[in-house]
Amino acid sequence: MSSELKPVPLSAPHMGGGELPLVTDCLQTGWISSVGSYVSRFENEVASYVGSGHAVATSSGTAALHLALLVAGVRKNDEVLVSNLTFIAAANAVSYVGAFPVFIDAEPDHWQLDIKLVRSFLEQECVPREGRLFNKKTGRRVAAILPVHVLGHPAELASLQSLSREFSLTLIEDASESLGSDYRGVKTGKWGQIGCFSFNGNKIISTGGGGMLVTDRQDWAAKARYLSTQAKDDPIEYIHHEIGYNYRLTNVQAAMGCGQMEVLEARVQRRRAIFHFYEQALNKIPGISLQKISAEVRSNCWLSTILVDPTKFGHTSRELRTLLARDQIESRPLWQPMHRSPAYAAAAENKFPVSDLLYQQALSLPSCSFLSDGDLQRVAAAIQNAART
């Protein structure tokens, strides 16, 4: 009976055990809120792990992205280049500052921001004026590039870094899914002027909810911290010179984060091993292929994701999802691409063929770091069985 089978989840939190004494310490001492030593300890640990000078913990990854755009000076009516194939948070953060996302399609191998399209947009559709770049069609200033490291695989960071320098744009990495990944030996989050991480429940390590912004610029880190605490200039008189936000991470969450940092490398290794298992087990099934890993990167393999070609496999990705669900195996298509999102309907006029194909065919498979080899074999067997039916 399938109802007696143990569920195999897609990406659930995986505590290491080291979190408990640290969280208990918060509860016993009463340091449970937005002040406390674990917040700065967690910030220091993530900053040194990534190799960044500064880190600011936030209440979510989305909050980190919002603050990143604010401190980078992205303003109302600016434009920001964003991955079209992304979780919507990256686009929403651009909207929060009153700017407009310009969506760029993915490349077909690693499913990251297509660098050729970025270059042709900047060279052909924009014009420099007084040290700034303007979109010829809209007249708006193009202020930043915001690549999302989709599924934990780094975007082409060396090219993005040189393009952003060439065109005087701020490079902000949405590294929410890619903590622990690197490009040419340098961690994601370190390549841009700002990098943003998420510790939401489904990410590689989690604080329940939370995020972090990393940067080498001391002034930007200080500004982000200031804005995240309601821009309070006087702690006694409550004087505020600006409109700020309540975006700070709590000490309890940070304590959990410190415990999770102890096991981050183990989590990365396990997720990579899961990807390699699926590669071995599934790549030979007709109509099934995995996301390719670039030779330039070490991916944290946050979510192992296959493409399902229905003409060769015999089922669509959605049909396979339903078949797996009957065996208590959780899987999920990629997000609706931004140009198809009703929330960003204005983008619908452009063509995004790679995003469309990935949206139709991609299916993320169970990738939790606590899955056993037996769990993985069950997933592979279920896919093999579906191929025959």
Ligand X SMILES: *Cc1c(COP(=O)(O)O)cnc(C)c1O
Exactly one of 52, 112, 200, 260 binds ligand X (CB under 6 A); that residue is 200
From residue 37 to residue 66, the character string flagging contacts with ligand X as x (rule: CB under 6 A) and all else as - is -----------------------xxx----
Do 71 and 51 contact (CB within 8 A), yes or no? no
Under rule CB under 6 A, residue 148 binds ligand X: yes
Q: Burial, 316: exposed, middle or buried (Cβ in 10 Å; 0-12, 13-18, 19+)? A: middle
Smaller CB separation from ligand X, 170 or 176 = 176
Exactly one of 8, 39, 56, 89 binds ligand X (CB under 6 A); that residue is 89
Q: Name the packing angle between helices 218-228 and 61-71 (round to 10°).
A: 120
Exactly one of 101, 189, 211, 333 binds ligand X (CB under 6 A); that residue is 211
Under rule CB under 6 A, residue 333 binds ligand X: no
Under rule CB under 6 A, residue 86 binds ligand X: yes
Under rule CB under 6 A, residue 183 binds ligand X: no
Concatenated DSSP letters for 316-353?
-HHHHHHHHHHTTB--BPPPPPGGG-GGGGGGGGS--H
Q: Burial, 275: exposed, middle or buried (Cβ in 10 Å; 0-12, 13-18, 19+)? A: buried
Please report, as a single letter, which amino acid is at residue 368: C
Q: Burial, 305: exposed, middle or buried (Cβ in 10 Å; 0-12, 13-18, 19+)? A: buried
Rounded Cα distance between 152 and 198, Å, is: 12
* Residues forming a β-bridge with 213: 56, 196
Under rule CB under 6 A, residue 90 binds ligand X: yes
To the nearest whole angstrom, how small is the minimum distance from the Cβ of residue 94 to ligand X?
A: 12
Smaller CB separation from ligand X, 209 or 259 = 209
Q: Six-digit token pair at 322?
A: 């339903």
Under rule CB under 6 A, residue 176 binds ligand X: yes
To the nearest whole angstrom, how small is the minimum distance from the Cβ of residue 247 to ligand X?
A: 11
Under rule CB under 6 A, residue 177 binds ligand X: yes
To the nearest whole angstrom, how small is the minimum distance from the Cβ of residue 66 to ligand X?
A: 9
Rounded Cα distance between 307 and 292, Å, is: 11
Smaller CB separation from ligand X, 154 or 378 = 154
To the nearest whole angstrom, how small is the minimum distance from the Cβ of residue 369 to ligand X?
A: 17
Residues 100-129 that bind ligand X (CB under 6 A): none
Smaller CB separation from ligand X, 163 or 175 = 175
Please report, as ranges, the residues that interact with ligand X according to CB under 6 A.
60-62, 86-87, 89-90, 148, 174, 176-177, 198, 200, 211
